[in-house]
Structure 1
Amino acid sequence: MDVTSRLEWHPRLLDPTQGRSVKPRKSGLTMVIDKGLGLHAFEDLLQTSAPYIDLLKIGFGTSPLYPSDLLKQKIQMARQHKIDILPGGTFLEVAIVQKTVPEFFEMVGRLGFTSVEVSDGTIEMERAARNEYIRRSREQGLNVYTEYGKKLWGSTIDVDQLLETVILDVQQGASFVTIEARESGAGVGIFDANGQCKDEELHAIVGQLPDRNQIIWEAPQKQQQVDMLRMLGLSVNLGNIAPQDIYSLEALRRGLRSDTFVHPES
């Protein structure tokens, strides 16, 4: 078939790696953080980028700052494009501290969110409580994304603790575990104060994971994304991607940027 007759790029130009999967994906997930897009900007985002977005997080605790009808519209639009959408984990932490967890879950359901994030980046959370929030979310028909790591500057990763958290969270019903890096990508987790990846620590973690596809690595900076794709493969799950960076990341995944350019064997 002459692909040009249908105004379609040749498959090897669309994806030189020949490895990019389509939604719903089991790996190669891209999680985008929304820090306040208006309805028209959000609609434009989905019109251009929906095939490349698997998960969209309404960042931090910003969900109650929107007019409820507007937020509901955004959620419905994301669902129409088969994008998992959830409030930021910090918002559940606020609900825990404010003793309003039932009210939190009630509104999550009424607004139409498809998922929640269970995290303890700012607060301390006992294992039993973590299990309970995962279970409660699943009972409400929500997908669960948990998060490991503290948001405090200079916080590091305890490999044994991380591995235990991943195993137990998945056993309890979490779909994926996100590794904290904040929206800055510096001075937290596997990134040093300059945003550089701690390669040895990353390899130590990955080498012991039962299933690396269960992990979403927050990597908001371009060089972090490049490093992750080079070290862990083009189908690594990446999170905290800014809306304006979706296309650049997708190009990296497909070998359409020099950083991951595909050189055919001669």
Structure 2
Amino acid sequence: MDVTSRLEWHPLLQDPTRCRSVKPRASGITMVIDKGLGLHAFEDLLQTAAPYVDLLKIGFGTSPLYPTALLKRKIELAREHQIDIMPGGTFLEVAVAQNAVAEFFDMVRRLGFNAVEVSDGTIELERLRRNELIRRGREADLNVYTEYGKKLWGSTIDAEQLLETVLFDVQHGASLVTIEARESGTGVGIFDGDGQCRDEELLDIQAMLPDPGRLLWEAPLKQQQIDLLRTLGPSVNLGNIAPQEIFSLETLRRGLRSDTFRDPRRNGGTLQPE
């Protein structure tokens, strides 16, 4: 008999916040960006961290750079571990610009992707065209994640435009709307040129939306993750997490790291928005 199979940490030591749910989750989504992991590294990642990953993005337009068999295997492994996997939104923007959208969706389905990202971070996308892309994704039986914001340095969030985008995207079938921050996390969206969170703007956006749980905040830097968790709580949806940072983020979510630790003798032991 394998004695180790009966060994398990006490629940209060696994999750002092008592807030973390298991997959499939409706909140507390973690999206990881894969910028070129080989198959063995990908297998190791899933072996150790799959329970803490909900969505995986094959970053930018890297999908066609992989050997097809290798990419297909990565997709299969992700799906086996209950992870939505999709090409980066920039790749669909390339397809739009090259008038190859039908070919894009055909290949996405044939490879086995179960999700797609609709964005206009680099190109201009008319509202009707955006609706059409969301619809095509849903008709292809894909989970659709959309993105709001431009990748251009210094671009900010227009609250009214964001509200309209979220309402229309969700109405047409999007699961979540991602707030752009790029992989650098600096000078875009709610983050200033030093990567610091504009807290007042964040709270204004949160208060404005009828269902703020529909947002996924790109937050590649540790301090950004801490700020969002402290402000919005442990069940905030976070994205563009580097593979090597998955465990770090999970400990932050659960209060297992000093940055988000709460002493139950003083405050009830749960991580609450500050």
TM-score range, shorter chain: over 0.9
Q: Distance in 2 between matches of 1:159 and 1:19?
A: 29
Letter in 2 for 1:171: Q
Deviations 1:152-210 (A, max 9, x none): 00001000000000000000000000000000000000000000000111111001111
CA-CA distance at 1:126 after TM superposition: 0.3
Deviations 1:112-157 (A, max 9, x none): 0000000000000000000000001100100000000000000010
Which residue in the other structure is 1:257 paired with? 257
1:205 and 2:208 correspond: no
CA-CA distance at 1:67 after TM superposition: 0.6
Q: 1:127 to 1:49 in 2, by over 3 A?
A: same
- What is the identity percentage for the equivalent residue pairs of Structure 1 and Structure 2? 76
Unaligned segments of structure 1, at least 5 residues: none
1:75 and 2:75 correspond: yes
CA-CA distance at 1:6 after TM superposition: 1.8
Alignment of 1:49-68 (within 5 A): 49-68=49-68
Q: Distance in 2 between matches of 1:118 and 1:186?
A: 22
CA-CA distance at 1:5 after TM superposition: 8.8
Number of residues of Structure 1 aligned to a counterpart in Structure 2 = 264
Alignment of 1:89-238 (within 5 A): 89-238=89-238
Letter in 2 for 1:224: Q
Letter in 2 for 1:9: W
Which residue in the other structure is 1:8 paired with? 8
Which residue in the other structure is 1:27 paired with? 27
Secondary structure in 2 matching 1:121 = coil
Deviations 1:204-223 (A, max 9, x none): 10011111111000000000
Letter in 2 for 1:157: I
Q: Distance in 2 between matches of 1:263 and 1:19?
A: 15
Q: Distance in 2 between matches of 1:195 and 1:49?
A: 26
Which residue in the other structure is 2:36 paired with? 36
CA-CA distance at 1:262 after TM superposition: 2.1
Deviations 1:23-60 (A, max 9, x none): 00000000000000000000000000000000000000
TM-score, normalised by the number of residues in structure 1: 0.98
Q: Distance in 2 between matches of 1:117 and 1:206?
A: 22
Q: Distance in 1 between matches of 2:210 and 2:130?
A: 21
Q: Distance in 2 between matches of 1:60 and 1:225?
A: 22
Runs of 4 or more consecutive aligned structure 1 residues displaced over 4 Å after TM superposition: none
Q: Distance in 2 between matches of 1:191 and 1:122?
A: 18
Secondary structure in 1 matching 2:174 = coil
Secondary structure in 2 matching 1:20 = coil
Secondary structure in 2 matching 1:256 = coil
Unaligned segments of structure 2, at least 5 residues: 267-274
Letter in 2 for 1:225: Q
Q: Distance in 1 between matches of 2:254 and 2:262?
A: 9
Over aligned residue pairs, what C-alpha RMSD do you find?
1.2
Letter in 1 for 2:77: M
